[in-house]
Amino acid sequence: MIPLETAFEALITSFVENSVGQVDHFLNDDLSRHLREQLMLLFREKQMKVAGVGNNAKLHYDQLVRSDVIYWLDRTHNNPYENIFFDLMDAFVEYLNRTCYTGVTSYEFHYAYYDQGSFYKRHLDRFRDNKSRAFSMIMYLNEDWQAGDGGELVIYHEDHAQRISPLGGKCVFFKSDELEHEVLLNHKPRMSITGWLRRN
Ligand code: OGA
Ligand code: MN
């Protein structure tokens, strides 16, 4: 297992160098498997909800923009693996704030399930009327993702598009107000935890 601070440092270094941080095995196999099992259970029990576009008053549901379903993680669920995940995020935020003076004050994370044939069209993660989302963070929970399975994350830089395969355990990290991105059509179920580090 990679020591925590090594993984944090690798994520931050690649973020500084490429505007998009990426680390494989950010979640270890055991945690990744337990979170995936929890996500599949929530999906089977129909607890996941159609994801919206925008926030608060402007929230609407547009299946032409995105077709995933989501479920917000919360410590009050007392799920041991969600809590291990939150402990990891607490440690990361503490490390990020200490080493980069980022001033992150809170976060929010949801599970996302993209059933076969889903997508999320090109968008920016920060809302027009609420600027608190500072960083976007995505962690994939897929067991075995092949080149032909689709579902790549495409990030649009000024002069090129970067494609990222949603490999289990991988973490992707970027500024929420800068980089437009999309999720391409997937040919088999695609699972992740996606969230935002916020500054109030
Ligand atoms: C999002 C998003 C990317 C991904 O949920 O806002 O862009 O790869 N997700 O799942
Ligand atoms: Mn997004």
End-to-end Cα distance, the chain? 34
Domain count of the chain? 1
- Domain holding 15: CATH number? 2.60.120.620
Q: What confidence tens digit (pLDDT) does each residue in 125-149 have? A: 987 778 899 999 999 999 999 999 9
183 CA → ligand 1 middle, Å: 6
Quick one: pLDDT at residue 56?
A: 67
Q: Whose CA is nearest to atom 1 of ligand 1?
A: 194
Q: In the chain, which residues have pLDDT < 70?
A: 1, 56-59, 61
Closest CA to 170 of 35, 36, 25, 32: 25
- Strands (DSSP E) along 59-178, which ranges? 69-72, 106-114, 120-123, 133-140, 153-156, 161-164, 171-175
Query: What pLDDT digit, counting tens, does each position of 97-122 carry?
Result: 999 999 999 999 999 999 999 999 99
Name the average pLDDT for the chain.
Answer: 94
Instruction: Starting from the CA of residue 138, give the closest ligand.
Output: 1
Domain residues for the domain of 142 are: 4-198
Our answer on whether the CB atom of 186 is closer than 6 Å to any ligand 1 atom is no
CA distance linking residue 70 with residue 173, whole number of Å = 19
Q: Which tokens hold the place of 130? A: 């609420």
